[in-house]
Amino acid sequence: MHYVVRSTELVPRAEELLTAGHRLALIAAHYDEDGPRVVYLFVSGPPDTRVELHVRLRPDRPEVPSLAHLSFPAGRFEREMRDLFGIVPLDHPLPRRLVRHFHWPRGWYPMRPTVPRHPAPGQAPGATPAASGTVPPFGEQEGPYPFLEVEGEGVYEIPVGPVHAGLIEPGHFRFSVVGETILKLKARLWFVHKGVEKLFQGRSVPAGLPLAERISGDTAVGHALAYCLAIEEATGTEVPTEARHARAMLLEMERVHNHVADLGMLCNDVGHGILNAHTQRLREQLLRLNREITGHRLLRGGVVPGGAALRTLPDPARLKAIGEDIREITALALGHSTVRDRFTGTATLGAHAAREIGCLGYVARASGLAADARIAHPFTDYDGHLNVPVHDGGDVLARFLVRAEEIDTSLALIEHFTRLLFAPGTFLAAPPGADAGSGTGVGLVEGWRGTIATRVELASDGTLARVKPVDPSFFNWPALPVALADTIVPDFPLTNKSFNLSYAGNDL
């Protein structure tokens, strides 16, 4: 359902939906031939329910009432929208920029349709280098990000990043501490902002798939599936039952190889490297199996618009052996006093905080919130085989246990859907008719980190007019500083890994 509402009606309509149990899944700004427009997507389930509110804005004054006082995620979506589109959320309680970095010129909004190309640092868009001491046509650079300083006796700051050791993506963390105790942590992201939403525009539907698969590299299936579900809704495409089973199986394969890696790295962060070595051994086996199934170690190419493509089916005996190995490693970890002691009570995120922040996935389920898109927004029938583990400890131990138990559930689901498939192959729907034209669609998928939402609008020629993907990391990143309050600095790597949020998925 979607409703066109006036800006004066937005706040009461949103409040009504939130009070009724819906959550805000995304806010998507648009600039089309009629000027600026903002779409608010609210979802709930079961049963699967989606409600869109469309607000048309004045071209000369692109302003909209803020929903930040009703929803914490809304406040972040609004700040992102202002930074990229120049649409102002009125009366926003925290009007600081979110996406914009030091070198971006003021007045330059890259998602507007007629914006010039990104300027070089110190140069206005489309202009020759400015003479020394002159102000570029788009205004001066944004300048340093305003971090809140914590003052008091014994308080000092520890800056970490944005460049980190190893393979971790860039993000800047600023700790205000007394001794080793963290008083406040501020995370500054968007160092890998890639303009993904702009890159989708004008592509054909097949050309959009490789981009969707690369939004966050470890979530190729989740983002590809959300994109394809949105496309199929927009075009009225009915996906064959076999393809839905294949997609569900691939989604669980992706969940297993990521969770297995995290279990080992959590053990590694408390000094138990041998358990990490064994989990990486198992992950390698799973990645090789992925390549056999789809031709790619990260399962790219398995989910396609209208269906799925499998080269082979997973061997149940191999998966059973891997499952036994994982359970043994988990038991060894939880039976080790150092591991359990370091996990227990560390970086606790309570249910109330998780709910207010809008947490998703295993972060929410480890804090007692039983949220899962496979139940709320199913794309296939799980026939009673889906058991969603929930813990209420909210600490590193709870996030470890949720992952370990989800692996067992995923392995059972893989076996179930493999039995239903009988043989590998390419399972495709009939292509949409030539007169399919424009349309809109939404895809909601429980990726391994949590619920992925993708909204698509197609142009009259069938190309992508607007794609708005939202990774669960966008919702979960604000919870990390909350969980780390009163935690010691040496536990930051352990806590960070227990959340394991995607920088790339956040920094679209």
Binding residues for Mg(2+): 197
b/e sequence 288-301, b meaning 16+ C-beta within 10 Å? ebbebbbeebbbbb
Residue 460 and residue 438 in contact, taking contact as beta carbons nearer than 8 Å: yes
Known binding residues are 197
Per DSSP, the residues of 255-314 read HHHHHHHHHHHHHHTTT-HHHHHHHHHHHHHHHHHHHHHHSSTT-TTSEETTEEEESS--
Rounded Cα–Cα distance for residues 406 and 220 (Å)? 19
By DSSP bridging, strand 172-178 and strand 181-188 are antiparallel
d(CA 351, CA 137): 49
Q: Sort residue 500 into left (φ over 0), alpha (ψ -120 to 50) or beta.
A: left
Distance in angstroms (rounded) separating the CA atoms of residues 209 and 228: 8
> Phi and psi at residue 480, in whole multiples of 5°?
-60, -50
Cα distance between residue 462 and residue 378, in whole Å: 26
Q: 371, 476 in Cβ contact below 8 A?
A: no
Locate 463 and state its tokens.
């190309």
CB distance 55 to 2 below 8 Å: no
Q: What gap in Å lies between CA 278 and CA 275, rounded to an integer?
A: 5
Please, are residues 391 and 403 in contact by the beta-carbon 8 Å criterion?
no
Concatenating the DSSP letter of every residue in 143-201 gives -S--PPPP-STTEEEEEE-SS-STTPPP-EEEEEEETTEEEEEEEE--TT---HHHHHT
